[in-house]
């Protein structure tokens, strides 16, 4: 097929996360510089997420070939282990973004990956893994040269996308592209017609403000927004600005958005270098029949779970401890990537 052909030309678009899944993709923790002595705890945390999701939909865990036996033992027989070369464990960002045509077919988009603006060195395997996954699935791969991570976007499946200026307009991603060129690439690859630009993500987020830590579509016209209760918290001003932008925005069908606030965890943790550890309940994974929600041994865990239950009354809310994942720089949504139901478009 011609390199110039884009997914939108073939009627493809990115569906909402709450649409039915074929499976969930994950990547096994492997970058020792991220986890240090807590790598065994990271293994246990990732395995816990994989097992929780596997109760509701198939899970495929990509791991380095030398880690296959260990991953298989930790995850159990209900999780498929897929040995492939990888550098790190954030499948939301290095894995493919799946697309559908609304007629039962699924394809994939492979973006350029540069480890969150060259935050880490040695990411060649992660830059290639999306293509390997799509090849394994026998699925059409629409590859392009724009740097993009799945955690930097949220879509409603009806043409609306939310992202942050801090991330997508950052000089460490696509300095040669204008805002309009970035919008065109998103529109043509993901099938979106309206982009809602928020300002910034969380303080000290090493992804340069991924939107999946602060805001996500939870239904058509409904956005879940991370909100600190302490007005002196540096994230408070950021989220109030984002709230205002959401309230002033319109979706692709011209309708206003309903904003549902979910509290920020109260406890604050610091990394060894003094940077704040980012924790968020927004960073949940919507599985078939369930929401796999991070908890942080925090007073707000129960409040957040109750709110999730109101938002998703037909899904089971499954809490999974995520502090060890947060220590690596993300949470449950960051380490998962949904593959929509459908037949692979070759």
pTM of the full predicted structure? 0.97
pLDDT of 1: 39
What is the DSSP pairing of strand 215-219 with strand 337-340? unpaired
Residue 334 a catalytic site member: yes
The encoded tokens of residue 339 equal 């593959």
Element (H, E) at 247: helix 234-248
The encoded tokens of residue 175 equal 């300095």
- 84 neighbors 119 (Cβ within 8 angstroms): no
325 vs 321: CA distance, rounded Å: 9
Phi, psi of 322 (to 5 degrees): -135, 10
Closest to 300 measured CA to CA, from 247, 234, 229: 229
- 300 neighbors 230 (Cβ within 8 angstroms): no
| Domains detected in the chain | 7-344 (3.75.10.10)
Residue 226 makes CB contacts below 8 A (sequence gap 6+) with 202, 213, 214, 215, 235, 239, 261, 262, 264, 280, 281, 282
pLDDT of 3: 54
Could you read off the pLDDT tens digit of each residue along the chain, which spans 346 residues?
A: 345 789 999 999 999 999 999 999 999 999 888 888 899 999 999 999 999 999 999 999 999 999 999 999 999 999 999 999 999 999 999 999 999 999 999 999 999 999 999 999 999 999 999 999 999 999 999 999 999 999 999 999 999 999 999 999 999 999 999 999 999 999 999 999 999 999 999 999 999 999 999 999 999 999 999 999 999 999 999 999 999 999 999 999 999 999 999 999 999 888 888 889 999 999 999 999 999 999 999 999 999 999 999 999 999 999 999 999 999 999 999 999 999 999 999 9
- 199 neighbors 228 (Cβ within 8 angstroms): no
């Amino acid at each position: 097929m011609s390199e110039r052909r884009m997914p939108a030309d073939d009627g493809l678009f990115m569906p909402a996360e709450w649409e039915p899944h074929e499976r969930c993709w994950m990547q096994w923790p492997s970058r020792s510089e991220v986890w240090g002595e807590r790598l065994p705890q990271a293994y246990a945390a990732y395995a816990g997420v994989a097992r929780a999701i596997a109760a509701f939909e198939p899970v495929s865990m990509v791991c380095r070939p030398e880690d296959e036996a260990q991953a298989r033992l930790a995850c159990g027989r209900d999780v498929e282990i897929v040995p492939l070369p990888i550098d790190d464990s954030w499948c939301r960002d290095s894995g493919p973004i799946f697309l559908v045509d609304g007629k039962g077919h699924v394809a994939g988009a492979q973006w350029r990956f540069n480890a969150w603006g060259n935050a880490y060195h040695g990411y060649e395997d992660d830059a290639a893994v999306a293509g390997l996954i799509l090849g394994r699935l026998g699925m059409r791969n629409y590859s392009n040269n724009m740097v993009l991570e799945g955690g930097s976007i949220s879509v409603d499946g009806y043409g609306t996308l939310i992202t942050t200026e801090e991330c997508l307009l950052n000089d460490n991603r696509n300095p040669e592209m204008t805002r309009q060129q970035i919008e065109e690439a998103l529109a043509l690859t993901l099938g979106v017609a309206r982009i809602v630009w928020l300002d910034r993500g969380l303080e000290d987020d090493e992804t340069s403000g991924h939107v999946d830590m602060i805001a996500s579509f939870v239904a058509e016209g409904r956005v879940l927004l991370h909100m600190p209760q302490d007005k002196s918290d540096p994230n408070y001003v950021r989220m109030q600005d984002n709230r205002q932008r959401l309230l002033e925005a319109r979706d692709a069908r011209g309708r206003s958005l309903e904003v549902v606030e979910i509290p920020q965890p109260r406890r604050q943790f610091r990394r060894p270098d003094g940077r704040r550890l980012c924790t968020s309940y927004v960073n949940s994974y919507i599985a078939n029949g369930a929401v796999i929600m991070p908890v942080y041994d925090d007073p707000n865990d129960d409040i957040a779970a109750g709110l999730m239950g109101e938002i998703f009354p037909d899904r089971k809310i499954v809490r999974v401890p995520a502090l060890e994942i947060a220590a690596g720089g993300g949470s449950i949504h960051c380490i998962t990537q949904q593959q929509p139901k459908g037949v692979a478009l070759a």
